[in-house]
Amino acid sequence: MADASPPKWHLAHTSWFFETFLLKATLPDYTVFHEQFEYLFNSYYNGIGQPYPRTDRGFLSRPTVAEVLAYRRHVDEQMHGLLNNNEKSLREKIVLGLNHEQQHQELLLTDIKYNFGNNPLFPAYLDQSKHDADRLSVSHSRSGAEQPMSYREFAGGLVNIGAQDNGFCFDNELPQHRVFLAPYALANRVVSNAEYQQFIADAGYQTPGLWLSDGWSWLQQHPEICAPLYWHQRDGQWFEYTLRGLQPLRAADPVCHVSFYEADAFARWRGERLPTEAEWESASVGIETAAGNFVDAGSLHPQPGLEAPGLQQMFGDVWEWTVSAYGPYPGFRPAAGAIGEYNGKFMSNQRVLKGGSCATPADHIRSSYRNFFYPPDRWQFSGIRLARDLDTE
């Protein structure tokens, strides 16, 4: 798949980022590790030069993994000299590079899962029998019955949307601005596998009235799609590929690896809708992110919610699709130069997802964080939270 890159490409590209935007731009006597790496490991920065075709990254048998790791050591050693520099713009680029690397730490896992999940042997990334259960906290080893779905109501009104001035954020989270929200309600948890199975059993994938026009066309072009990515049916029983291999589908787990089209169709089938980006963000303010099931917990799979008051699973477990198109906030201005290509040029034809997933580093996420993917994309840990309008009469 064109969206999935080999692990060594991620390792090299994150090093390329520091080399290109910091070392080469700051150190006049810097010596590049390899003159062709600027071409091979450029992702999409046309201001730097022509990138190597994304679809062909898997064909790169050279450089070897050992050479890529040597490249990383070379860049790391050179970066040591910049870490004590207190120049503001330089430090901002370093922090951007670190957050960029966290994004690729997540992509490493989702891309490996796509590779393994499409292998008929369904190899395991993690060995379940040797997994250290003590790494999982009580809250991250949630299991058992599915908690009832209820709705929390919000009055709406004028709300502040966007990043606060209290730490790092990406440019697409700025500037902070005010948005008017009509009264609405959000489900207390994300949609479960059992609930999604009901959609499948009720001919959800065969009912055109549930689907957006583009979504229905997408289904007709891919008639093999009849369930979330990584679901497999054998002898009438559903299984799900996880990073621990092929497992019996657990009913209470959050449904994940669904496209925006599938999430929207499910919401229509339930007589509900997906939340807007602003609704989700406003509702999440004040919720502690640290309690979420992130990559740090080691489960690498979404877990059932806890029976607790308020909104659950807002952070971690699955990226939650919103109905909102990914676009610039009022007054948005991309950074000058090639680094300004980081987010701004993708503000077209994509949808916003919020909250992070079980593959996201815990200290990477916040209420204002804006992830974005195209409506058919399914290889990320993407799931569903339902919303509804409130009667204002």
pLDDT 10s digits, 42-55: 999 999 999 999 99
C-alpha 149/C-alpha 295 separation (Å) is 25
Does 140 have pLDDT greater than 80?
no
| Entry pTM | 0.95
Task: Over range 84-108, report the average pLDDT.
Answer: 95
Band of the pLDDT at 165, cuts 50, 70, 90?
A: confident
Please list, in sequence order, all residues whose beta carbon lies within 8 angstroms of the beta carbon of residue 351, skipping any fewer than 6 positions away.
260, 321, 322, 323, 324, 325, 326, 372, 373, 374, 375
Q: Residue 187's beta-bridge partner residues?
A: 151
* In the predicted structure, residue 93 carries a pLDDT above the cut 80: yes
**CB proximity list for 302: less than 8 A, separation 6 or greater:** 190, 253, 254, 256, 293, 317, 318, 357, 358, 381, 383
Question: Is the separation of the CB atoms in 314 and 188 below 8 Å?
Answer: no
Which domains, ranges and CATH numbers included, belong to the chain? 7-117 (no CATH), 128-389 (3.90.1580.10)
Residue 392, pLDDT score: 66
Task: List, for residues 246-301, the tens digit of each pLDDT value.
Answer: 999 999 999 999 999 999 999 999 999 999 999 999 999 999 988 899 999 999 99
Mean pLDDT (the chain, rounded)? 93
